[in-house]
Amino acid sequence: LISSLTGPGHHHWSYQDILEWDKDYPECGGKAQSPIDVDTQHTVFDAQLRPIQLSGYNLSTAETLELENNKHTVVLKLPGTMKIIGGLPEIYQAAQLHFHWGSKSNPGSEHMVNGRRFPGEIHVVHYNSEYTSVEKAANHSGGLAVLAAFIEKGPDYNEGYEPLLSHLEAVKDGGQITEIPGFDISRLLPQRLDRYFRYNGSLTTPPCLQTVNWTIFNQTIRLSETQLDLLEDTLHHDHDQLLQENFRDPQKLNGRNVLSSFKAPVVGRKAAGEAPPSDSDDSSSLNPGTDAHGEDDPQLGTGDMLAIIFGILFAVTAVAFYVYVRKTRKRNHRSSDSKSNVIYKAATAEENVV
């Protein structure tokens, strides 16, 4: 997760030798490791978990940021003026952000939800502002706070990702570094920063230090297929090999709690008491997958009740009208029959003419 934390020995690790990580980095075999598979049936609602509040995330284009391919991921260095000022017990300042992804055939998020892995995951790494550097903070409990969000494929081009994705090509080889202009980093995260899971864990790469306060957003980020392909298929590590599937599998909870900041299973457009999502994609991205629909139906909103009442009124009117039409027709039949009796001959004559 943090490439500069490789320790004094500076051992080399890779995603091919994950099971050996704890030989050089004993904490990787610890009891509070990350990532985890979040089982939403067993998360504990905690009303104290306030919305994540960001400050200084909208960077000026005058600022330059270092973007690096460190052979494990692409890392964007962030200025300490970017902070989390709400939703955590202390103030945390940003250090860097990076991504985990899979390949065309395999999704590559690190965290999972109910056994589901997502195509990708962003980690925005912060450190407790009590400490003078991310390296120092990383050695203390509660020293780090990482904001994590899942990346999925969506129908639309995600403009907020362009200031980053457009520079991937410049760092396609392992070890390459480039400078990019500042942009609004908050647009790399979901809109809803109030719905998240919280647990205590570790760095997901060596040295796997167990000092991370994790926040995993419930709303996902959506990239177009082209954008997702670019993330998956641009970077290389050594020897011209594509850098793909840079994720670690879920680790045992070992009795840890996973808290959730929200209670309602789904925030749909018609759910009562919640601010409506600002764009129509929101409710589906809150609950990815087609099974989302069954869950927002049980409660009927005012609109649904009115629709049902008007539906019944309409049906009653339609039946009454039908009955009326039939009665009228029968009556007309009878009267035209009697009429035809009267003018029987004339009518027949007329018919024959035709």
Ligand X SMILES: *[C@@H]1O[C@H](CO)[C@@H](O)[C@H](O)[C@H]1NC(C)=O
Instruction: Please give the residue ranges that form the binding site for Zn ion (CB under 5 A).
Output: 1, 123
- Output the smallest distance, CB 197 to ligand X, in A: 7
CB of 33 vs Zn ion, minimal distance in Å: 13
String of DSSP letters for 274-312:
SPPPSSTTHHHHHS-STTHHHHT-SS--HHHHHHHHHHH
Q: Which residues bind ligand X (CB under 6 A)?
A: 40, 113-114, 150, 198-200, 218, 220, 257, 259, 265, 287
Contact indicator for 108, 247 with CB cutoff of 8 Å? yes
Looking at the Cβ atoms of 46 and 184, the one nearer to ligand X is 46
Q: Where are the beta strands (DSSP E) in the chain?
A: 37-38, 44-45, 53-55, 64-69, 74-77, 83-86, 92-101, 112-113, 116-117, 120-128, 144-153, 177-181, 196-201, 212-217, 221-223, 259-260
Exposure pattern of 271-295 as b/e (b: 16+ CB <10 Å)?
Answer: beeeeebeeeebbbbbbbeeebeee
Q: Closest distance between ligand X and the C-beta of residue 199, in Å?
A: 5
**Which CB atom, from 21 or from 92, has the smaller least distance to ligand X?**
92
Q: Which is nearer to ligand X, 55 or 200 (CB)?
A: 200
Of 230 and 259, CB closest to ligand X: 259
Catalytic, out of 11, 12, 42, 72: 72
Q: Rounded to the nearest whole angstrom, what is the least distance from the CB of residue 139 to ligand X in the complex? A: 15
Residue 279 amino acid letter: D
Which one of ligand X, Zn ion, none interacts with residue 218, CB within 5 to 8 A by kind? ligand X
User: Is the distance from CB of 28 to CB of 206 less than 8 angstroms?
Assistant: yes
User: Side chain identity at 204, as an amino acid letter?
Assistant: T
Residue 1 or 52 with smaller CB distance to Zn ion: 1
Q: What is the rounded distance in angstroms from the CA atom of residue 52 to the CA atom of residue 198?
A: 11
- What does 145 bind: Zn ion, ligand X, none (CB cut-off 5 to 8 Å by kind)? none
Residue 123 binding target from ligand X, Zn ion, none, CB below 5 to 8 Å by type: Zn ion
220 binding partner (options Zn ion, ligand X, none; Cβ < 5 to 8 Å by kind): ligand X
Indicate if 167 belongs to the active site: no
How many whole angstroms separate alpha carbon 220 and alpha carbon 250? 19
Catalytic residue annotation:
72
